Structure 1
């Protein structure tokens, strides 16, 4: 059954986020970004509601917004969303659009719809497959077809990476007017003078939730390949790995005698990173912008990363060191920055400059709000341009609808037995 707080209709504009998981800003960068978007909408005058089929967790945000437990394959959602009557609906994964999009369109046809990919899921999946098999990158797989179809059905897709915007236009022929680049939004740049300096910090840190496959791979690769090289160069230095949901497979890398510790969850990523001299992000695959690198910059902690980590965060020449996948180069860069204050300060300043250049709230938030308002002002004309979306909404997506209705009927029959 669907449970919810009371529905109010005072606000002229109402935004509904349909979320795969309840936002956990202390656990994932995606969770923090989601709340940033909701806060932005609230400041623009929207009444904000969150609906999710996930079970509540003790780590989810106390957002202050309406929170609603919704059910997949349950027609009670139809009555509820029709009563809520949102003017804007955001799906935080393409799977949420598949499961609930047809219901929203049926009950609230005038609601503008947005897909927020967080990162291009299909690209991350393709890179993961290429990393496992050694085969060439294949962008055109089944998940990509589903994700691109969800984008086409929505009125706008938010992309956190300009690299991925370009990829969607070049390889999947999505037009500019269906895409909007919205990076992480930084309201206040860090004051480096107020943060611990080189001498006040020690050891190395890694951070990232362990439900995220790129983070799991990064820890394994670092522990098995890079850490022995770093340890040989910095024998007295430890590396502490932070992240929510560290399971047994990750705990096997906890080896205090060798200086590598799996610490687990931290409630305050910025305060934690501010204690360390370097932040490491040895990512071999992934997509989107990297919250762990953003946290390093915000805490004044220089970050050593790979080309995948650097992608969409700053230009190749804007890091102050050679960004590389080579374990020897990664280890040598780590040792140099750890030991040389001048190099450390140079890379720290480069991170602050990257924040200023690419992540300013003032530069990006007004454009996003203006884009939403412009589309909503003439939604019918916007949708008329999107012929492929209209075709998909009329034909292909009905498969999800009929499957959902079949499952709902099957569950009701089972309950009646």
Structure 2
């Protein structure tokens, strides 16, 4: 008796995954590993160039196929592959390739992995810029962290980015959301049907190993891809305001800042006499995190959930962050460190946990409990597979009850199709 055919999955990535460089890529890898556990046949494609820290997908048994934007060669490729599920990594890939997938593989389940709500992150960035123009107070940013969902909606609603992103969510059969806060924003304010959304946070194994002891750790650490604007802004705030406040209380303290793709503007901040060390990329982020006593993550804007904070919890390293950094992560459980809205509050909390072993151990235990109760792969992996199976079995029903998505596909995909064909014809003539 013949074996049933393995489910075919095509993942279209905005970039090739670099899990040691960004939390977004780490989340994509967790999803891929969940699919591999099912024995699914996976192809990963991207129009992006190869980054220097790219994961070796082929070693995992995943085919790697480069693709091109605005090129009909994709049509033949996707027709021949005939995937059962197409996962778009970030909404721009749905914009570029969604109409081609719908045309050539109409029965394929179309899923969007959002990473974070980019229009929310950009709106918050603009709010920070406005605040910096309006006031030279570099300490208190509490007004940035207070808005209700309705106020967030007001910030986003008129932006082109939000209109593009929300349209892409409507056009897909299912959207994977990493933050429950963003789910509520989409449902309550943008009126997106809840059935189009699935909570898929970071998926991790329980923490069972002992942590590096308090006495064997030293220094403060901050880590994050420098290409990600919230991380660079946090570095600047630490350099100008937060770190000097910590050094006032701990004159011999050191801050080690790690990040992929370190630009010259970051290395220019390196100043050992101030204890401010820009260390470039960490070969093993968990190793350097485990050697640090405190993780600093003073994010003044952003979205999604923060991989650096999850890494800190995995390593038993208390973290000091803002309400933006903690958003969507704890569901009311005790925070594994401290949350502050001013540089002074963050500095005081960081110094207190650096010096007080009992307080440090308490924060560490909060992190262990949070990971083991909220981010278990054994829970979220099967839930994702079950949701995908339900959507595949009920695809006609899902699409018939998503008229707005159907309408948006009709109009947007036609315009995207004609633009892509025009660009391809133009490129053909110019070459």
- TM (norm. structure 2) is 0.91
User: Following TM superposition, by how much is the alpha carbon of 1:14 offset from its aligned partner in structure 2, in angstroms?
Assistant: 0.7
Consecutive unaligned residues of structure 1, counting only runs of 5 or more, are 1-9
In the alignment, is the contact (CA less than 8 A) between 1:23 and 1:34 conserved in 2? yes
Deviates more, 1:314-323 or 1:54-63: 314-323
- The separation in 1 between residues aligned to 2:319 and 2:208, in whole angstroms, is 15
> Which aligned pairs between 1:159-238 and structure 2 lie closer than 5 A?
159-191=177-209, 194-238=210-254
Q: Does 1:139 align with 2:133?
A: no
1:381 to 397, 400, 404: 397
Alignment match, 2:427: 411
- The separation in 1 between residues aligned to 2:422 and 2:392, in whole angstroms, is 34
Q: Does 1:23 align with 2:20?
A: no
In the alignment, is the contact (CA less than 8 A) between 2:231 and 2:299 conserved in 1? yes
Alignment match, 1:158: 176
1:116 to 96, 110, 113: 113
User: Following TM superposition, by how much is the alpha carbon of 1:19 offset from its aligned partner in structure 2, in angstroms?
Assistant: 0.4
In the alignment, is the contact (CA less than 8 A) between 1:207 and 1:292 conserved in 2? yes
In the alignment, is the contact (CA less than 8 A) between 2:267 and 2:278 conserved in 1? yes
> Which aligned pairs between 1:5-404 and structure 2 lie closer than 5 A?
11-64=5-58, 65-134=62-131, 137=152, 138-140=155-157, 141-191=159-209, 194-315=210-331, 318-319=334-335, 322-404=338-420
- The separation in 1 between residues aligned to 2:80 and 2:220, in whole angstroms, is 52
Could you report, residue by residue, the CA deviation over 1:183-204 in whole angstroms, capped at 9, with x for unpaired residues? 000123242xx22111000000
- The separation in 2 between residues aligned to 1:106 and 1:290, in whole angstroms, is 36
In the alignment, is the contact (CA less than 8 A) between 1:23 and 1:61 conserved in 2? yes
Could you report, residue by residue, the CA deviation over 1:349-394 in whole angstroms, capped at 9, with x for unpaired residues? 1111111221011221111111100110121111111111111111
Alignment match, 2:148: none
Could you report, residue by residue, the CA deviation over 1:28-85 in whole angstroms, capped at 9, with x for unpaired residues? 1111110110110121131011000011123100122100110000000100110011
> What is the aligned residue count?
404
- The CA RMSD measured in Å over matched residues stands at 1.4
Q: Secondary structure in 2 aligned to 1:225?
A: helix
User: Following TM superposition, by how much is the alpha carbon of 1:317 offset from its aligned partner in structure 2, in angstroms?
Assistant: 6.0
- The separation in 2 between residues aligned to 1:219 and 1:28, in whole angstroms, is 16
In the alignment, is the contact (CA less than 8 A) between 2:289 and 2:295 conserved in 1? yes
Runs of 4+ in 1 over 2 A off after TM superposition: 134-137
In the alignment, is the contact (CA less than 8 A) between 2:123 and 2:156 conserved in 1? yes
- TM (norm. structure 1) is 0.95
Q: Secondary structure in 2 aligned to 1:245?
A: coil
User: Following TM superposition, by how much is the alpha carbon of 1:268 offset from its aligned partner in structure 2, in angstroms?
Assistant: 1.1
